[in-house]
Amino acid sequence: MESLPDLGKNFTILEKEGEESKIYQIYDVTAKQTGKKICLKVLDKENSNEVEFDDIFFLEQIKKEEKILKKLNSDAIIKINNIIDNTKYYGFEFDYFNISLYNYIREEPFFVRNNINALKEILITLTQALKELKEKGIIHRNIKPENIYMYYIDKDKELPDNFKIKLANFDCAVYKDEILTSRPMGSFMYTAPEIINNLEYDEKSDIWSIGMIVYELYFGISPFGNESINKIRKIMNGKEKFIFKKSGIKSLDTLFNKLLCVNPTERMSLEELINFVENKNLMKISKISSKIWIKIVILYQTKRI
C-alpha cells in the first residue's frame, strides 16, 4: 500500500483515483482519528518541480480551486472539508465518492440508454451546478465524465437508480473577467471549439461539454465517433460540418443539435437548457425510449426464434 509522507500520521490510503499524474493526485483514505472514509486532492510540491510547465502555476491553480469551491454552495458541487498545507503537500479534503462517472460508464456503457431516469438525474444536477457557477461568474472549462463523481444513496442497493452526482475538479476554472488573460485548459474531447480555437468564450463553453457527455451517455460513444484528431480539429474550426448519429427520438435529437453547435451563438443557453429540463421533455424521451427498446427486444427475440 502506498504511503504519503507527512500525511501518514492522519490517514490510511485505500486507493488512488484517476490516471497517474505528476501534478496532483486524488486518494481515497480513511481518517485515523474518526475512521471515516474521505478523499484527498493533493499537489506534491516536490514532484511538481519536475514538470516542464511552471510548478508555481499549478500551485496557484489548486489554491484558486480551493477559493472557488469555498464560494459555491450547490449540492451539485463537491465541498471542501479541510485544507492540507505542509512542506510536501498542498490540497484539501472532500467527501468520499463511490465512483467517477467515467469509470462507471466504462463498466456499464448503456446504463443511461436502458434507464432514461438516470440521464434525467445527471442532466438536472449538471444544470443546477452550472446555474450556481453562472451566478458566481465562474466557468468550469473541464466538465467531463472523470470530473463527475457518483455517490450511492443507499449503500445496500446497486445502480442505476441509486445515485446522485456532484461536479468536481475546478483546477481549470476561471472567473468570467479573467478569460482574456487565462491560458486555454481542459480535455480536448470535451472542450468547446471556441476555447480550442483561442476565441472569446463564456458559460456556453460548459454547455458544449454537457452536450458531449449526454450524447456519450446515451450512445456509449463520443459524437465524434472514431474520427481522427485532424478531422475533429477541422470540425472544431468550422471547416467541416459536424454530423453525428441520431437517436430517432425527436426531443432528444433536438437537444443534441442545440447543445452541440460549433458556433456558440447558435448553441443552447443555460436558461434554455433549464427550461428544457423543467418542461418534462425528459419524461417524454423516457416514454419514447422505453417503447423503442421494447420493439428492439421483441425484434431480437423474434429473430432468435
pLDDT tens digits for 185-207? 778 999 999 999 989 899 999 99
Ranges 7-11, 172-176, 198-202: which has the least confidence: 7-11
Query: Whose grid coordinates read 432528444?
Result: 252
Query: Whose grid coordinates read 463564456?
Result: 202
**Is omega for the bond preceding 160 within 30 degrees of 0, making it cis?**
yes
All three cell numbers of 57, joined, read: 502555476
How many whole angstroms separate alpha carbon 215 and alpha carbon 205?
Answer: 16
Q: With bands split at pLDDT 50, 70 and 90, how would you rate the model's confidence at 140?
A: very high
- Is the sign of the CA dihedral 195, 196, 199, 204 positive or negative? negative
pLDDT at 94 over 70: yes
Q: With bands split at pLDDT 50, 70 and 90, how would you rate the model's confidence at 145?
A: very high
* Nearest alpha carbon to residue 94 among 135, 132, 59, 62: 62
Sorted by sequence, the CB contacts under 8 Å of residue 118 that are 6+ apart come out as: 111, 112, 159, 160, 161, 163
Contact 223, 215 (CB under 8 A): yes
pLDDT single digits (tens) 282-301: 655 655 554 544 444 344 34
- Is the sign of the CA dihedral 140, 47, 90, 63 positive or negative? negative
pLDDT for 247 equals: 84
- Predicted TM-score (pTM) of the model is 0.87
Query: Residue 195, Cα to own-chain centre: how many angstroms?
Result: 17
Other beta carbons less than 10 A from residue 302's beta carbon: 8
Most confident of 60-74, 99-113, 276-290: 60-74
pLDDT at 63 over 50: yes
Most confident of 42-56, 73-87, 269-283: 73-87
* Nearest alpha carbon to residue 144 among 101, 184, 183: 101
User: In terms of C-beta density within 10 A (0-12 exposed, 13-18 middle, 19 or more buried), how is residue 173 classed?
Assistant: buried
Q: How far is CA 19 from CA 24, 109, 146, 186, 217, in A?
A: 10, 20, 10, 15, 21
Contact 128, 68 (CB under 8 A): no
DSSP 157: S
Q: Going from the N-terminus, what domains does the chain have, and what CATH number goes with each?
A: 11-95 (3.30.200.20), 99-291 (1.10.510.10)
pLDDT at 56 over 80: no
